[in-house]
Structure 1
Amino acid sequence: MKYKIVNINDTGVRSVLIIYTGGTFGMIQDASGSLAPFNFGKVVDRVPELRQLDIKLTVISFPKPIDSSNIGIQDWKDMSYIIEENYAQYDAFVILHGTDTMAYSASMLSYMLEGLNKPIIFTGAQMPIGSIRSDARENLIAALEIASAHNNGNPIISEVCVYFNYLLLRGSRSQKLRSSTFAAFESENYPVLAEAGIEIEFNYAALKPHDENAQLNVINNLDANVTILKIFPGITEHSVKSILSDPQIKGVVLESFGSGNTMNFDWFIDCLIKAIEGGKIILNVSQCIGGEVEQGRYETSKKLNEIGVLSGGDITTEAAVTKMMFLLGSVEDVNEVKKKLTYSLAGEMDMMEE
């Protein structure tokens, strides 16, 4: 794949590589009034403030901008490849990405970039950069400032994050909750990492500690044979069976009610048992935005423990789906996959690390 590379600022103490994948951020209106991608190498024409930052800036663009609704495994591999190839040359990376699937991408890269000790900041916009009221400029400038922030020579951020609307969130904890306001993202089960006001206030207690001896190891063996089973009142046996009986599916994220509860109908439990006996891994996550799965707390979830459904604790659906893809692709032993699903790999869940 041929990437477009443009240097937009050659002076500065820190160096940041901006990776432009596509999304609303880089759209402008064409002659007909329709939104179309523009040459992102000329971003400084739209955001002249970039020249005022004391940061060496380079933009690398995907050959063809991707609508984030079309993001998939190969795109995650491409992002990780760019980071791996340029890791020694730059102090930090900012990834411009469509908002719809940003939480999925941020979660996946959190797993793929093992040993990361530099900032990877995802950001984007709800309104195109060509719009007068666009949030693109503020999001980009603040993301760059955060990415280049350092303390005693070390970066303050050493993990994958999402920056949006004045808030910095852990990537593997983020979720897009709104489509009609600038406050699109939240992290209900983990504190905000930083807040950009007049000054950028970092929540040091919530940050991943910097490890200057860590060595980046990119793991890009992923398996897409994962699905979501979201239960709801009135769901039929036929619907559940059609999902759980698919021979290609290896992992199922079960979106349950409240703190991990499901219906305890015999046919439903039997479907789960047959799927597990057939080799499928089932991970229980809550449909609620905040809170966590507590299997066994109520009678309706007690049976799930007994039959081998795994508890996802307070993990998000986005982090759960990508974690399954990551582990099923990179870990051969099924029992090891199950074990790793229940503890934190990249700060995605509030459970003991191995």
Structure 2
Amino acid sequence: MTNKPNILLVYTGGTIGMVKDYETKALIAFDFSQIIEKIPELKQLNCTIESICFDEPIDSSNMNTDYYVDIVNILEKNYNNFDGFVVLTGSDTMAYTSSAISFMLENLQKPIIFTGSQLPIGDLRTDAKENLITSIEIASANKKGSPVITEVCLYFEYKLYRANRTTKISAEQFEAFTSFNFPPLAESGVHLKFNEHVNNLTKDIEKKFFVRKDLVKDVVVLKLFPGISLLVVESILNIKNLKGVVLETYGSGNAPNSDSFIALLKKAIEKGIKIVNVTQCKSGRVIMGHYDTSVLLKEIGVVNGMDITTESAVAKMMYLLNENLSSVEFKKVFETSLRGELTDKYHF
């Protein structure tokens, strides 16, 4: 690559884009058009930087599927004009947002790096500068003229993760995210080291970049706990227009095996509701049928979420429910890794 990479910053809102007005002590939105002046260290990077901001920056708690589409529209419109993208969002829902974007973009051949911060960019001890600078450096990285990263990632506190593998683990520590079931794609220390042996998503460079914007929002996360009322389960499964359930079970995918509980799930599946089994554990995976308490789930057609995160399961379900798949097709596709969100093979 002879020319400097062109990097686009997309700011949707969140802590990273806030600065303190020292007269009023209030936090106000940062003007990203002035980013080079505010963070002169960026001049040392071998790239050009432009920015686009949401007209009204949103708090991460207000993130929804309409904003997912807004982000995707910006990426699609600018895809051919930039070599890489850094998307700045609030960290609280970043794992959900970045996971969804990974499914909405097909045949991606460029880096899209999500990042944010725990402290505003203007704070003295902020983590925002490092996260931002390194994310831009990662988005700019190329090897023999090709980008090193060609997927949707999340960078936070010295580590680059596959976005759809991440979970936010702390509201206070700078190390706010981790990826329990998949190693980092890169680590930043004295040197920026890419773990190329794990960055192995297969790509067909002949296929055209394609964007899907239709997501089905009629899904719910149902977390089991000892003593959960069957009336509560029944009420949730009878929500009007419900299309999918991410069922958070115990351990390796276990749930109550009482006739009444299984009957409720079976009835929902017979109505066409898709139910995916994910574990409440932070690491590990669902092994349907490993214990007696998951045999019946397998028999009635509950989908095996394997080692997918809840955040990614929600995103993948929203994506696949729009594809008008039969129950058999849905199960087959969901249990297949589409964007590296699942570990296909395990060795015992």
Matched, 1:114 2:106: yes
Are the equivalent residues in 2 in contact too, given 1:95–1:122 (CA < 8 A)?
A: yes
- 1:284 counterpart residue number: 277
CA distance in 1, matches of 2:271, 2:324: 19
Q: SS at the partner of 1:293?
A: coil
Matched, 1:243 2:236: yes
Code of the residue aligned with 1:276 in structure 2: it is: I
Shift of 1:329: 1.9
Shift of 1:152: 0.6
Are the equivalent residues in 2 in contact too, given 1:110–1:160 (CA < 8 A)?
A: yes
- 2:188 counterpart residue number: 196
Shift of 1:149: 0.5
| Cα RMSD after superposing both structures | 1.5
Q: Which moved more, 1:38-47 or 1:311-320?
A: 38-47
- 1:15 counterpart residue number: 6
Question: Which consecutive aligned stretches of 4+ in structure 1 deviate over 4 angstroms post-superposition?
Answer: none
Cα-to-partner distance string for 1:186-237 (whole Å, 9 max, x where unaligned) = 0010011000011111100111356543421001111100101100011111
Q: Which moved more, 1:37-46 or 1:104-113?
A: 37-46
Of 181, 196, 217, the match for 2:210: 217
CA distance in 2, matches of 1:277, 1:107: 29
Are the equivalent residues in 1 in contact too, given 2:105–2:211 (CA < 8 A)?
A: yes
- 2:335 counterpart residue number: 342
Equivalent runs, 1:120-131 vs 2, <5 Å: 120-131=112-123
Of 42, 53, 74, the match for 1:82: 74
CA distance in 2, matches of 1:74, 1:261: 34
TM-score in terms of structure 2 length: 0.95
Are the equivalent residues in 1 in contact too, given 2:107–2:203 (CA < 8 A)?
A: no
CA distance in 2, matches of 1:288, 1:332: 29
Shift of 1:319: 0.4
Shift of 1:116: 0.2
Q: SS at the partner of 2:68?
A: helix
Code of the residue aligned with 1:217 in structure 2: it is: F
Code of the residue aligned with 1:15 in structure 2: it is: N
Cα-to-partner distance string for 1:6-48 (whole Å, 9 max, x where unaligned) = xxxxx96111011011100011223321222232222223311
Code of the residue aligned with 1:29 in structure 2: it is: K
Q: Which moved more, 1:268-277 or 1:11-20?
A: 11-20
Q: SS at the partner of 1:93?
A: strand
Are the equivalent residues in 2 in contact too, given 1:158–1:209 (CA < 8 A)?
A: no
CA distance in 2, matches of 1:257, 1:334: 24
Shift of 1:277: 1.2
- 1:328 counterpart residue number: 321
Q: SS at the partner of 1:107?
A: helix
Of 166, 178, 184, the match for 2:176: 184
Code of the residue aligned with 1:102 in structure 2: it is: M
Cα-to-partner distance string for 1:138-191 (whole Å, 9 max, x where unaligned) = 000000111111111100001000000000000110111111100001001001
Matched, 1:92 2:84: yes
* Structure-2 change in CA distance of 1:76 and 1:41 (3 Å): same
Cα-to-partner distance string for 1:259-292 (whole Å, 9 max, x where unaligned) = 0011112221111111111111100000011000
Equivalent runs, 1:130-279 vs 2, <5 Å: 130-207=122-199, 208-209=201-202, 211-279=204-272
Of 22, 41, 46, the match for 2:38: 46
Cα-to-partner distance string for 1:79-109 (whole Å, 9 max, x where unaligned) = 1111111111100000011101111111111
Q: SS at the partner of 1:101?
A: helix
Q: Which moved more, 1:260-269 or 1:288-297?
A: 260-269
Matched, 1:314 2:298: no
Are the equivalent residues in 2 in contact too, given 1:127–1:135 (CA < 8 A)?
A: yes
Matched, 1:24 2:15: yes
CA distance in 1, matches of 2:40, 2:309: 37
Q: SS at the partner of 1:74?
A: helix
- 1:7 counterpart residue number: none
CA distance in 2, matches of 1:46, 1:105: 27
Cα-to-partner distance string for 1:280-338 (whole Å, 9 max, x where unaligned) = 11000000110000010001111101111111000000000010001112345444223
CA distance in 2, matches of 1:264, 1:334: 22
* Structure-2 change in CA distance of 1:308 and 1:334 (3 Å): closer
CA distance in 2, matches of 1:92, 1:212: 16
Are the equivalent residues in 2 in contact too, given 1:106–1:171 (CA < 8 A)?
A: yes
CA distance in 2, matches of 1:32, 1:197: 37
* % same residue: 48
Q: SS at the partner of 1:268?
A: helix
Q: SS at the partner of 2:36?
A: helix
Are the equivalent residues in 2 in contact too, given 1:107–1:172 (CA < 8 A)?
A: yes
Are the equivalent residues in 2 in contact too, given 1:68–1:97 (CA < 8 A)?
A: yes
- 1:60 counterpart residue number: 52
- 1:5 counterpart residue number: none
Code of the residue aligned with 1:32 in structure 2: it is: T
CA distance in 2, matches of 1:330, 1:71: 23
* Structure-2 change in CA distance of 1:280 and 1:120 (3 Å): same
